Structure 1
């Protein structure tokens, strides 16, 4: 993490509607449900080289397909756009430098969901992520500047999601999920033990 920060400093030179009459209960009658979801990210970098990284707020949103396997078991692949990252403070030659890493991923999770109680499901599944943009905003002595950091991060991520869903209705549900990155995302050649860590909260809408 510190190497990434130093490289950056050097580079800078210092809605939904349900038609109940026509379709009835979406979840109860359909083996396949298509929907949209969106929510809040609380993300961070973790790992031996993450240093004193702090959480960054972002968002996620995209589409999903809910496939009914049995009355209690579902498979749900998703395609999500996710803004993630981390914030760090560095003391360099007696000067405080604040850096916000902001990354943008296309994440593709495949979740297995199991009904453990009425309207309540536990979920677990892997995800693969594709980095589409990354920059770092450096604030020094009241002035800020941004630099592209795509070259010092790997283009792919892989990890494991686990969480739960609560159905408010057949159409609307609440989702809470933790996404634990399992692979290093740094790509500088050394001090690269940095992984994504993201807590997600949001709402989903079955169409």
Structure 2
């Protein structure tokens, strides 16, 4: 997995370096995720809020169409009750859980979307430029942890590799892939650069767990992002 990530990142950097417009189209991006797990083996989930931050590079611009590779740190996961028993069935004698506990899965990824961005000239002005975008996303897991919060207990956080749930570290795949759909607005400010506001929908296409049963589980999230593109 690490080798594949390095190769993909190097190819992205080479592509950026070959583009004469790369240095005038570097953008900073940051926002908030509302994420959850979806699939036939998921039930009673609640959205989990997380950070989404990184860079975008507009490397090819042909009229209203641009190719925009991006790289992000993305926090994902979900909140639910009793779902852990369906995923792994840990020994209750090894862990004393409040009967009314709430469980959180927290996953962190490096994500690389490759977007085709299309501005909408018929809705644009000199300052405001609406656009839509979409494309594949490749993710590489950095971290996995579980936290428990009960009505009578304080929150307790454990790594997925903890001895009580060690199977989760290997059950959760180290990579993810999916697609993202984007709708946003660029606000071009003369001499100051471009401010961007967009909303994104991500749907995973790769199962998060492959243990032979109860593995129809995928990432899904909605992200609201604010960005700034350098004017030079």
TM band (smaller chain): 0.7 to 0.9
Greater helix content: 2
One of 157, 175, 186 as aligned partner of 1:156: 175
User: Which runs of structure 1 show a deviation greater than 6 angstroms over 4 or more consecutive aligned residues?
Assistant: 91-94
For these two proteins, the number of residue pairs brought into alignment is 178
Structure 2 counterparts to residues 115-134 of structure 1, below 5 A: 115-117=119-121, 118=124, 119-134=129-144
SS at match of 1:168: strand
Once superposed, what is the RMSD of the aligned Cα atoms?
2.0
Q: Quote how far apart the aligned CAs of 1:146 are.
A: 1.9
- Runs of at least 5 residues in structure 2 that lack an aligned partner in the other structure: 1-19, 86-91, 93-97, 161-168
What residue in structure 1 maps to residue 105 of structure 2?
A: 101
Q: Assess if the C-alpha contact under 8 Å between 1:90 and 1:96 holds in 2.
A: no
The structural deviation recorded for 1:163 is 1.3
Q: 2:116 aligns with which of 108, 112, 117?
A: 112
Alpha-carbon distance, 1:175 to partner? 1.4
Alignment TM-score, normalising by the size of structure 1? 0.80
TM-score (normalizing by structure 2) = 0.72
Aligned partners of 1:201, 1:55: CA distance in 2, in Å?
Answer: 14
What are the residue-to-residue correspondences of 1:114-193 with 2, within 5 Å? 114-117=118-121, 118=124, 119-143=129-153, 144-149=155-160, 150-169=169-188, 170-193=193-216
Instruction: Find the aligned partners of 1:206 and 1:140 in 2 and give their Cα distance.
Output: 44
Q: Which has a greater percent of strand? A: 1
